[in-house]
């Protein structure tokens, strides 16, 4: 039995998210079905972080245990062949120690949220960015974001369906950077609550338009109540960028 670590890139638009769902297609389903056709069994893959419907990944990490003798390169090539034409690509594959776990060995997760701040409608990037037509003050957004850095009760920014045992999380980074019409929001933590990044971004956008004062972000955090949430950003602009492991 060999444990393989996979690095997966995908466009989340056609899927109900990473995890298998009874009511629609998922990234996990397509990769497991491709694996089944390659090895003649029904393996289960485990990922570093589940993504919601419409959310994308640049380098999701996952692992699978296979009894079949196959090299990492041949497995990657076979998977990519069987995944076509789905917008899912295996961009890395390696054999790892049997105690390496995509989820439990992970020490950090990095997301990026992409906003296109323009009045014109989207053409090529429909579903890949969040278009905000009102002018956003990225400096004010970044200032407000710093209230969320550190260990806090993030109940306000947590989905009502979140299954985490505790709302406490430690946010290591939340930066807002503008480049022309594009605004990128970089978030890093050991783990995130369900909808946490989208909820934080939605409220930062309210600061950017002037609907909220900068200090309103701290008030929302301190409320520790979902009713204090101003806005939940759409999934379109959210990307899982990378997972961080010891020694990497």
pLDDT tens digit string along 101-157? 999 999 999 999 999 999 999 999 999 999 999 999 999 999 999 999 999 999 999
pLDDT in tens, 42-67: 899 999 998 999 999 999 999 999 99
Report the pLDDT averaged over residues 89-108: 97
Q: Strands 108-116, 130-131: parallel, antiparallel or unpaired by DSSP?
A: parallel
Distance CA 11, CA 88 (A): 7
Q: Where are the beta strands (DSSP E) in the chain?
A: 2-10, 46-47, 56-66, 88-96, 108-116, 130-131, 150-153, 168-179, 182-189, 238-244
Distance CA 248, CA 238 (A): 24
Q: Is residue 83 within a helix (H) or strand (E), and if so which, with residue range? A: helix 72-83
pLDDT at 164 over 90: no
Distance CA 13, CA 151 (A): 32
What is the pLDDT confidence band of residue 207, given thresholds at 50, 70 and 90? very high
pLDDT (0 to 100) of residue 22: 81
The whole-chain average pLDDT of the chain stands at 96
pLDDT (0 to 100) of residue 165: 87
Catalytic residue among 11, 52, 99, 153: 52
| Residue 162 neighbours by CB distance under 10 Å | 17
- Both tokens assigned to 236: 């379109």
Name the DSSP letter for residue 136.
Answer: -
What is the pLDDT confidence band of residue 9, given thresholds at 50, 70 and 90? very high
Domains detected in the chain = 2-96 (3.30.70.580), 108-244 (3.30.70.660)
Catalytic site includes residue 139: no
| Structural Rg of the chain based on CA atoms | 19
Q: For residue 184, what are the β-bridge partners?
A: 114, 177
pLDDT in tens, 221-246: 999 999 999 899 999 999 999 999 99
Q: What is the pTM of this model?
A: 0.95
pLDDT (0 to 100) of residue 248: 76
Collapsing DSSP to helix, strand or coil, 74 comes out as helix
90 closest CA partner among 5, 6, 3, 4: 6
pLDDT at 23 over 90: no
């Amino acid at each position: 039995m060999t444990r393989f670590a996979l690095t997966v890139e995908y466009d989340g638009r056609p899927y109900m998210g990473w995890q298998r769902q009874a009511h629609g297609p998922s990234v996990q389903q397509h990769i497991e079905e491709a694996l089944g056709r390659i090895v003649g069994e029904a393996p289960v893959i485990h990922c570093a972080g589940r993504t919601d419907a419409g959310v994308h990944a640049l380098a999701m990490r996952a692992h699978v245990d296979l009894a079949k003798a196959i090299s990492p390169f041949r497995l990657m090539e076979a998977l990519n062949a069987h995944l076509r034409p789905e917008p899912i690509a295996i961009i890395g594959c390696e054999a790892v120690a049997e105690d390496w776990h995509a989820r439990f060995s992970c020490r950090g997760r990095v997301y990026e949220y992409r906003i296109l701040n323009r009045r014109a409608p989207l053409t090529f990037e429909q579903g890949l960015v969040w278009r905000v037509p009102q002018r956003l003050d990225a400096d004010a957004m970044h200032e407000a974001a710093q209230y969320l850095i550190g260990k806090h009760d993030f109940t306000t920014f947590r989905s009502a369906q979140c299954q985490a045992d505790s709302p406490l999380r430690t946010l290591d980074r939340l930066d807002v950077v503008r480049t022309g019409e594009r605004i990128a929001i970089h978030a890093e933590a050991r783990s995130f609550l369900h909808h946490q990044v989208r909820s934080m971004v939605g409220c930062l956008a309210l600061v950017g338009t002037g609907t909220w004062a900068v200090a309103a972000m701290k008030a929302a955090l301190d409320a520790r109540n979902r009713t204090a949430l101003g806005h939940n950003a759409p999934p379109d602009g959210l990307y899982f960028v990378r997972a961080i492991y010891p020694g990497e």
